């Protein structure tokens, strides 16, 4: 994993994330994955434990499963919010019902993710939550010899102009904004194609667009920038 990718520091200390999740396998996977991204992770297996930990310690982010034994995730959340907790909370839910989402957001969740979710997506959401209010407008994006001018809508690689269709341009912009981070097809469908329903079959469409992007961006060059992570998605980075 390359340096500087998904990490944010406050005064040199890594960020603390509390994971409240009763399913041991999922909790362990989350812990391992987040620790690889150099977050400091604490896992709570029950709602009570999570509640206790949040009250006792400082966290930068809470990942909260809604279906918990003992105390329900939503109850934990609303109690915490009533007590003035301001830590961002990312809710995980297995229930893909709009009412649940609305309820979760009403109770004070900052974002939600429906299970099963793609890990790159979770990372992206966490980054977005931690970055909140600190986004800066950029006019130029860059990776290695690839330059993207968002204002003039121009792409240059190795000093040469490369022409893209509007869709390809948007796709490249998204990949470049998330350079060195794996993006899933689902993220692309939602962010680039603005397709909210997961049932719409866009995977083939995305694959074709990625293939075209590759043809224009990578084929003429020795150094490949677009990489496929099989079963997960795509990543734009310098080296394998």
Partner 1 sequence: MRRLWPRHVRSRMTLWYVLVLGLLLLAYAGVASSYLFYSLREQLDHDLLEDVERVEGLLENTPDGRVALEPVHHGEDELDTQRFVEVWSPEGILLYRSPTLQGGTLGGPPRPRPEGSAEPSPSTVRLADGTRVRMAASIPSVDGRRVFLRVAHSEQALWQEMEEIVSVLLLVLPPALVLAGLSGFTLARKALAPIDAMAHTAERISAERLNERLPIENPEDELGHLARAFNATLARLEAAFDQLRRFTADASHELRTPLTAIRSVGEVALQTPKSATEYRDVIGSMLEETDRLTRLVDSLLTLSRADAGHIHVQRTDISLLGLAQEASSLVEVLAEEKQQRISVEGVPTLIVSGDRLILRQALINLIDNAIKYSPAEAEILVRVAAGKDNRLIVEVVDQGPGVPQEHRSRIFDRFYRVDSARSREWGGAGLGLAIARWAVEIHGGQITFQSVEGQGSTFRVALPSTTTPEKNGHEEVST
Sites of contact with partner 1 (CB under 8 A): 96-97, 116, 185, 193, 196-205, 208-209, 212, 229-232
Residue 141 or 235: which CB sits closer to partner 1? 235
Least distance from partner 1 to the Cβ atom of residue 207, Å: 9
Residue 133 or 201: which CB sits closer to partner 1? 201
Peptide bond preceding 116: is omega within 30 degrees of 0, i.e. cis?
Answer: yes
Least distance from partner 1 to the Cβ atom of residue 189, Å: 11
Least distance from partner 1 to the Cβ atom of residue 115, Å: 9
Report the interhelical angle of 73-82 vs 47-56 (nearest 10°).
Answer: 20
CB neighbour burial string for 102-125, b if at least 16 within 10 angstroms, e if fewer: ebbeebbbbebbeeeebebbbbbb
Residue 136 or 196: which CB sits closer to partner 1? 196
Least distance from partner 1 to the Cβ atom of residue 205, Å: 6
Residue 138 or 229: which CB sits closer to partner 1? 229
Rounded Cα gap, residues 92 and 101, in angstroms: 10
Residue 2 or 197: which CB sits closer to partner 1? 197
Residue 170's H or E segment, with its range, is helix 166-177
Cβ–Cβ contacts within 10 Å for residue 73, how many?
A: 24
Least distance from partner 1 to the Cβ atom of residue 212, Å: 7
Q: How many Å is the maximal CA-CA distance in the chain?
A: 61
Residue 183 near residue 233 (C-beta atoms within 8 A): yes
């Amino acid at each position: 994993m390359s340096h500087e990718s998904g990490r944010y520091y406050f005064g040199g200390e890594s960020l603390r994330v509390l994971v409240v999740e009763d399913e041991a396998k999922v909790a362990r996977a989350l812990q391992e994955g987040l620790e690889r991204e150099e977050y400091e992770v604490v896992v709570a297996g029950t709602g009570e434990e999570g509640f206790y930990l949040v009250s006792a310690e400082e966290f930068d982010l809470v990942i909260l499963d809604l279906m918990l034994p003992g105390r329900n995730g939503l109850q934990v959340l609303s109690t915490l919010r009533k007590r003035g907790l301001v830590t961002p909370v990312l809710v995980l839910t297995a229930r893909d019902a709009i009412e649940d989402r609305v309820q979760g957001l009403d109770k004070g969740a900052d974002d939600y993710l429906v299970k099963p979710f793609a890990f790159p997506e979770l990372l992206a959401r966490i980054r977005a939550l931690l970055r909140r209010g600190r986004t800066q407008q950029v006019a130029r994006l860059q990776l290695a010899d690839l330059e993207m001018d968002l204002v003039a809508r121009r792409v240059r690689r190795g000093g040469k102009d490369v022409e893209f269709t509007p869709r390809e341009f948007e796709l490249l912009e998204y990949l470049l904004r998330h350079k060195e981070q794996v993006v899933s097809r689902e993220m692309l469908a939602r962010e680039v194609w603005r397709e909210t329903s997961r049932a719409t079959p866009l995977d083939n469409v995305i694959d074709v667009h990625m293939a075209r992007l590759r043809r224009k961006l990578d084929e003429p060059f020795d150094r490949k920038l677009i990489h496929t992570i099989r079963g997960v998605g795509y990543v734009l980075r310098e080296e394998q």
